Amino acid sequence: MWNDLVQIGIVLLILFVLMVPMGKYLYIVFGDKESKLDRIFLPFEKVIYRISGIRQIEEMTWKKYAVTLLAINGILGVIAYFVLRFQGGLPLNPAKIENMEPSLIFNTITSFLTNTNLQHYSGESGLSVLSQMLVITMFMFTYAATGLAVCIAFIRGLSSKGRSIGNFYQDWLRAHTRVLIPLSLIVTLTLVALGVPQTLDANVTVQTLEGGKQTIAMGPVASLESIKHLGTNGGGFFGVNSSHPFENPNVFTNIIEILSMWIIPASLPFTYGRMVKNSKQGWVIFGVMLTIFLLLLSLVYSQEKAGNPAFNELGFSHNQGSMEGKEVRFGIPMSALFTSVTTAATTGTVNNMHDTLTPLGGLVPLSLMMLNSVFGGEGVGLMNMLMYAILAVFLSGLMVGRTPEFLGRKIEAKEMKLIVIALLAHPLIILMPSAIALGTTLGTEAISDSGFHGISQVLYEYTSSAANNGSGFEGLGDNTIFWNTTTGLVMLFGRYISMVVLLAVAGSLITKQPVPETLGTFRTDNATFGTILIGTVIIIGALTFFPVLVLGPVAEYLTIR
């Protein structure tokens, strides 16, 4: 028990040390001032601007910004479609993988397009080496960069004046050249040193000790592994993702992977604090995220540690905790922490099987994805949390009867309408399709465990899609036209509705005349506001999702206890 807490504590401590400097670094990268970084990166970026035909960095309105973003996303999607459709005949296909089927391509492309990385194929048998690199690895960079760019643009809307929220090309390119690529280089090589393969061979066949044959699949794993976590993407090289010993061979790689997916979402609040010129704002947001995170982490840890109730009932030992679906090298603490971080940061990589988590343990990843704002995916998590913050300001304003302000800008009907759209879209695209899937045989056929757990499986699949997480209760037989299409649509809506809507909010706020701060101003940089914000997030989340959680995990818990 104490050892477990020390292990988790060490990882948290490393995060605390890294996050503030990282937040500052991101602030410099996306700031409009010249910096020392220009000397290193600008010559390289200039080449890319020149080849792209971009002569000058123009200021963009939120509409222009959104259109450029959607255009680039669309173009990449189309190119990736052709690579997957014809991968069988393209080079770098040592394992002779066949072309992918269209509904699965639609699902795969939207999945990576939206930074969800839900995988209805299995990496070992469904993708050529070329596809793993050109489609999957590429998408992981480009879409993480998109999320980061949008988040920065959104904060600019809250913090600056005028009409422009920045230039998408510049933000997007810098997210690559100054953040994701350099970090990936370091992480990739560290992972290889610790045992993760990086080769162009697809497999090795060995003669086992007992004289049998074992074919061991491998490939350029480490390069994908690094950006998979740094970009909070989560799509594994292998079917079982980071529980595969090649993706995550030991506790050190496990910690590196946890920190890789956590560091950018955790440092963005500090970037935000700097951009709005009040670092306390950043600390409040971070504090709220950390509090909710720790509450849920302790639930999943204690549940898994206590063991599977069904086993305990029969008289099995529970001193190892629930080990079905987990790896010995990680044990309970490193599995529970990984599960919480991957669903908080909506990465979706897993180092243990979430379907096999104990009922209340499984409630935790579900809840974190439903909240979708506790750290959250690259950029979008902070945006969602700020959306809640505006909502909290609005609610507080209603209670005392005055016009709500956030960062010196009046929050009025237009912003609130937009925010309500974003707020309602998330539960709507989870609960509606879950109801449809549970009501039709097309959906229920895929369920592998009857009873209440089946409801959790369906719910998890759509929650994961909507939150652009991508992990799954993998017992679900989800590679069918029905599931590929519905989850594909949910992922698209989950990604782009809130992105565009929140950009519109930023576009509206940026044109407002700042209101001077007075004694009567409702402060958003202290513990009181932090508490209100925690309350807002939890109450909204609970009101929306509690009924369905009762039908799934809670009912399962009560029946096997």
Partner 1 sequence: MKAFRMSLIMIVLCGLAFPLLMTGIAQILFPKQANGSILYNEKKQAIGSELIGQSFKNPKYFQGRVSSIEYDANGSGSKNYAPSNEEMIKRTQKDAEKWLKDHPGKTLKDVPLDLITNSGSGLDPHITPAAARFQIPKIIKANQGKVTEQQLEKLIQKHIEDRNIGVLGQPRVNVLLLNMDLQKVIQR
Interaction residues for partner 1, span 384-423 (CB under 8 A)? none
Nearest residue (CB) to partner 1, 282 versus 309: 309
The Cα-based distances of 262 to 16, 115, 229, 300, 394 in angstroms read: 11, 15, 8, 18, 30
Nearest residue (CB) to partner 1, 197 versus 379: 197
User: In the window 108-127, what residues touch partner 1 (CB under 8 A)?
Assistant: 122, 124-125
User: In the window 424-483, what residues touch partner 1 (CB under 8 A)?
Assistant: 448-449, 451-453, 456-457, 473-475
* 3 state SS of 467: coil
**Alpha helices (H) in 440-514, listed in sequence order:** 441-444, 452-466, 481-509
Q: What would the two tokens of residue 122 be?
A: 């299995």
Q: Which residues pair with 203 in a beta bridge?
A: 217
17 counts as binding partner 1 under rule CB under 8 A? no
Q: Which residues pair with 410 in a beta bridge?
A: 405
Sole binder of partner 1 in the list 100, 262, 293, 327 (CB under 8 A): 327
User: In the window 32-61, what residues touch partner 1 (CB under 8 A)?
Assistant: 48, 51-54
Nearest residue (CB) to partner 1, 246 versus 483: 246
336 counts as binding partner 1 under rule CB under 8 A? no
What binding mask, one character per residue, do residues 501-540 give for partner 1 by CB under 8 A, x or -?
----------------------------------------
User: In the window 227-266, what residues touch partner 1 (CB under 8 A)?
Assistant: 227, 238-240, 243-246, 249-252, 254-255
552 counts as binding partner 1 under rule CB under 8 A? no
148 counts as binding partner 1 under rule CB under 8 A? no
71 counts as binding partner 1 under rule CB under 8 A? yes
Q: What would the two tokens of residue 34 be?
A: 């010249």
The Cα 74–Cα 51 span in angstroms is 20
The Cα 66–Cα 143 span in angstroms is 14
In angstroms, give the least distance from the CB of 292 to partner 1: 25
330 counts as binding partner 1 under rule CB under 8 A? yes
Sole binder of partner 1 in the list 7, 232, 372, 484 (CB under 8 A): 7
Nearest residue (CB) to partner 1, 198 versus 531: 198
With CA atoms as reference, report the closest residue to 130 among 75, 89, 76.
89
Nearest residue (CB) to partner 1, 145 versus 290: 145
Residue 234 near residue 470 (C-beta atoms within 8 A): yes
Q: What would the two tokens of residue 367 be?
A: 């809840």
The Cα 160–Cα 151 span in angstroms is 14
Nearest residue (CB) to partner 1, 52 versus 511: 52
317 counts as binding partner 1 under rule CB under 8 A? yes
In angstroms, give the least distance from the CB of 282 to partner 1: 30
Task: Classify residue 512 by burial, with Cβ atoms within 10 Å: 0-12, 13-18, 19+.
Answer: middle
State the residue for tokens 């390289």.
Answer: 44
Say which residues have a Cβ less than 8 Å from residue 301's Cβ, sequence separation at least 6: 4, 8, 332, 333, 336, 337
Phi-psi region of 270 (alpha: psi -120 to 50; beta: other; left: phi over 0): alpha
In angstroms, give the least distance from the CB of 215 to partner 1: 4
133 counts as binding partner 1 under rule CB under 8 A? yes
DSSP symbols for 418-453: HHHHHHHHHHHHHHHHHHHHHHSHHHHTT-SS-THH
Residue 147 near residue 378 (C-beta atoms within 8 A): yes
User: In the window 156-215, what residues touch partner 1 (CB under 8 A)?
Assistant: 169, 172-173, 176, 181, 184-185, 188-189, 192-201, 203-210, 212, 214-215
User: In the window 72-111, what residues touch partner 1 (CB under 8 A)?
Assistant: 72, 75-76, 79
DSSP symbols for 202-244: -EEEEE-TTS-EEEEE-SSHHHHHHHHHHTT----SSTTGGGS
Size of site (CB under 8 A) for partner 1: 122
Nearest residue (CB) to partner 1, 10 versus 543: 10
